[in-house]
Structure 1
Amino acid sequence: MINDQFFFTGIANIDVVKIGFNTELRLGNGRAGDPNFGTGDLLARLLEFDNFTTNNLATGSSGTLFFN
């Protein structure tokens, strides 16, 4: 089974924020324990999709995922 994948270039860190059954991908800063986690610019909002994993990030993407 092939899943949809996102491909990002020029983005170092992506905060993955789950809100109910939705998921937001936001520009992150890569700092552990950052109180501003998940408040960066919105890259994508996935409606009714709450099981986003690293498998959904395409090979060769520049982003590193951070989950809340």
Structure 2
Amino acid sequence: MESFWSTLKIELVYRNSWRTRDEAENAIFTYIRLVQHPPHPERPRLAIPRRVRNRLAHPPSPTRRDSYRST
């Protein structure tokens, strides 16, 4: 636990100065929140085959339900 407070002081407190106590508190709370819950990188989109994308973009009309049936 002591190493956490040391890291917080080195990375945040000693590098910044705030005008009010509220600004300092907000910065410290934000720092702690980001340490506990770091932002996740955006996941890559799945590669969807072209024919599946076309079917999703242009579903068959209600009268042609047999278009998905194999012959």
TM-score (norm. length: structure 1): 0.21
**Pair member with larger Rg:** 2
Structure with the higher strand share, 1 or 2: 1
Greater relative contact order (Cα < 8 A, sep 6+): 1
TM-score (norm. length: structure 2): 0.21
